[in-house]
Amino acid sequence: MTSGTMETIDLAIVGAGPCGLAAAVAARKAGLHAVVFDRGPIVNGITGYPTYMTFFSTADRISIGGVPFIVATEKPSRRDALAYYRAVADLFELDVRQYETVDRLEAAHDMSGDGPTRGRPSWLLHTSRRTGSTSVTHARAIVVATGYFGRPNRLGVPGEELPHVRHGYEDGHYAWKQQVVVVGGGNSAVDAALDMYRAGGDVTMVHFAESLDPNVKPWVRPEIEARLREGKIRALYGSRVTAITEDHVVVHGPDGEQRVPATQVYELTGYLPETGLLQQVGVPIDPESGVPAHDPLTMATPVPGVYLAGVIASGFQANRIFIENGRDHGEMIVADLLSYQ
């Protein structure tokens, strides 16, 4: 059942990733009452990164809120980032509602109060917690910063739901003395293949292209290419997985069909943007690019009071927007909100 009296806030931010937190910091600095909701923990997407992952960007380029991100190495690790973003949230005393899912948005109309969006349409957020309790929050504006890691880009083949098939990667330890198939040829697939090989896994990569993706990190490419030349990691290029069984992966490639032994399968083929809430409130989404309609100068969508922040604005091309060029979206959004005062 719904609990408590309905709370009214200036800004609801859906997604507690770095760009969502940056928007909350911008709102805080402007004196707005902002609440961040996330179905998981703070920076949930980063928690799902490989345990020993190192960021592509340097620390200064993924810092937020004007708070220096200082690490002893050139590039921060997953653990460094988790500690940093927790510290920023503590420093600004951000109201982050962890493990509270925004299930539905409902249009309202705000004629009360003296906030920056007075007189404009506003929104009711229907949320639920892991305990089963629910709440409704009234927000004068909404930022959708749901990121990219909730909807895996599935292969759509038989056996994909078997328990030894995973759509993310954590740690090479689990691959010791296992026959592993990694589907994909980008950075995630390469990092996982190398990590599992080092941990004692028997690794085969399956990729639809004729070679590894061109954007593989330059400091990683020499090692993966060396392991492939030596045959310590195998690669099946120009190939696609057509079925997964309990102990094999069926692959179609230039040499026809083959069955590759596999006790673990990692589908590291990317993700699709989480646009469900945007579609729910009528934000147009380009069917070819997947980009939700928005003004890149304010991040406002055509639906009044609804904004985008972070990678959700990049559509199907997730590599167009990173933390480093999405962390400023919050300031743009807050500036637009304040222009209505």
In angstroms, the CA 176 to CA 156 distance is 28
Instruction: Say what the pLDDT of residue 319 is.
Output: 66
Q: Which of 96-110, 159-173, 307-321 has the least mean pLDDT?
A: 307-321
Contact between 183 and 189 (Cβ < 8 Å): yes
pLDDT of 95 reads: 98
pLDDT value at residue 109: 66
Q: Tell me what pLDDT residue 48 has.
A: 82
Instruction: Please give the share of the chain, as a percent, with pLDDT higher than 70.
Output: 93
Give the tens place of pLDDT for each residue, 105-137.
999 865 455 554 455 679 999 999 999 999 999
pLDDT bucket at 4, cuts 50 / 70 / 90: low
- Mean pLDDT in residue range 201-227: 94
- Mean per-residue pLDDT for 204-217? 94
pLDDT of residue 42: 97
Predicted confidence at residue 325, as pLDDT, reads: 80
- Which residue has better confidence, 57 or 304? 304
Q: What is the secondary structure of 111-149 as a DSSP string?
A: -SS-STTTTSEEEEEEEEETTS-EEEEEES-EEE---SS
53-67, 141-155, 242-256: which has the minimum mean pLDDT? 141-155
Count of alpha carbons within 13 Å of 164, Cβ hemisphere only? 18
Task: Give the model's pLDDT for residue 285.
Answer: 94
**pLDDT per position as a tens digit, 153-184:** 899 999 999 999 999 888 999 999 999 999 99
